[in-house]
Structure 1
């Protein structure tokens, strides 16, 4: 029996790199079902690779093997590892922070260092620049094909030693909810925050309420405006902004049939902060 193998990278599809990884997987076993998560991670962007795993992994069956290769440290002494999540998924990746969001939200139950003397593509020479093909795709395929089990990857690796990127927590104080802009919904330009729905609801909001939304980059105000809390984009007119709950049960900001990120040049990361408060109702005499 073979399990699914899901590939993620910052390689793009303009050359043969991803196809070579497919080839390695099928050379290990032609029966492995191979899928793409994405190969459009911005170059060297470990943070986005970490977030896209969180966005995707929980929706695949147990024992699915993910290979994530966003590896600016390729060829250095950074470790190559295989991690098992608390949800019983397998992640093959460099230990450079790619596991941050999974470890925080789902949990890592065990990890092993890849023994590259055993788990390396035969006849791959002395190349140290394409570990995605020679080590990660090869090891991931061997696990997916059940040629090796998790314990045969290599020596045990302490969960506490796994590299973590800095994460910030959303908070609420005196009726103001503050969080970070974690990622973009790239295709549509929506922004996704680290504010969980449960925390947001502590503001006492209902669908249709007006909210004051402020976005800062470091200390510079980039955006401040009123918008509606809606169930979906159709709750507002085309071109208007709204606050909504995204597919990960976190708050998102969007423009109906427009790109909020492009319209206001919004970026992502810990220096991009967002604050939300319930707008007071104005009663006219």
Structure 2
């Protein structure tokens, strides 16, 4: 049965790269449903690619095939892989950390290293710089269209051998919680943390409470202020900061009608830590 193919990359849409990936997939099966997750991942930013997969994957039906290509090591000895996730989805991607968030949250049931002698766009064997088109889009489309089964993607490898990015897990203590800035709500500049809403419930922090918020980068404090825990942006005046619960049920930090990330030059990853104190 034909499934859906969802594409993600850091290619942008200012040239023909994404169109070429669509063309390859369409040539495999003209009736295949092909969608774009995003192609605006910052160049080479594997962390953000990993997060965006996790952010969206479980909203798609089981069996959906994702192709994720953020691949600064293209043409090197890094592996090309296909995985089946605990949520019943498939991902075709380089083995470079792109699956970090999925492996932590949904789990990975099975991993196969792509057999590039079989699963490679015909007549592309001399190209080593566009595996997104020649290997990933081609293999992903063949899998989604039912031309190949997951078992014929390539030989099995152990999930434990996959490359993982460093992640600092959120923690809860006496009247305080701590985590990292996982990602930015790009268009609006809000900070999305990896701290679940339930941590505030355990500390009996309610809407309207005032919190002390500290942000550190590589152990150096870059922001410290008090702000309100609000149900929505309407709970503060324009230009004021607030803590809120984002669409993934984690804690976020924002400036009402402003960009927190730009105002304080905040970025993402395990070396960007955030603390909330009652």
State the SS of the aligned residue for 2:181. Answer: strand
Aligned to 2:261: 261
State the SS of the aligned residue for 1:103. Answer: helix
Q: Distance in 1 between matches of 2:143 and 2:159?
A: 20
Preserved CA contact (<8 Å) 1:192 1:252: yes
Preserved CA contact (<8 Å) 2:200 2:206: no
Unmatched 5+ residue regions in structure 2? none
Q: Distance in 2 between matches of 1:198 and 1:107?
A: 21
Q: Distance in 2 between matches of 1:148 and 1:76?
A: 26
Q: Distance in 2 between matches of 1:200 and 1:78?
A: 41
The Cα offsets for residues 74-114 of structure 1, whole Å up to 9 and x where unpaired, read as 11111100000011100000000000100001110111010
* 1:277 has 2:261 as partner: no
Aligned to 1:128: 128
Q: Distance in 2 between matches of 1:199 and 1:206?
A: 11
Q: Distance in 1 between matches of 2:116 and 2:221?
A: 49
Work out the number of aligned pairs and report it: 278
Give 1:202 deviation, angstroms. 2.0
Give 1:121 deviation, angstroms. 0.3
Give 1:220 deviation, angstroms. 2.1
Give 1:247 deviation, angstroms. 1.1
Give 1:250 deviation, angstroms. 0.8
State the SS of the aligned residue for 1:266. Answer: coil
Which segment is superposed worse, 262-271 or 186-195? 262-271
Runs of at least 4 residues off by over 4 Å: none
Preserved CA contact (<8 Å) 1:203 1:277: no
Aligned to 1:180: 180
Structure 1 length normalisation: TM-score? 0.96
Q: Distance in 1 between matches of 2:201 and 2:214?
A: 18
Structure 2 length normalisation: TM-score? 0.98
State the SS of the aligned residue for 2:157. Answer: coil
CA RMSD, 1 decimal: 0.9
Q: Distance in 2 between matches of 1:248 and 1:174?
A: 25
| 1:170-249 alignment runs, 5 A limit | 170-249=170-249
Aligned to 1:282: none
The Cα offsets for residues 162-207 of structure 1, whole Å up to 9 and x where unpaired, read as 1111111111223221111111010110001111111232221111
Aligned to 1:99: 99
Preserved CA contact (<8 Å) 2:80 2:93: yes
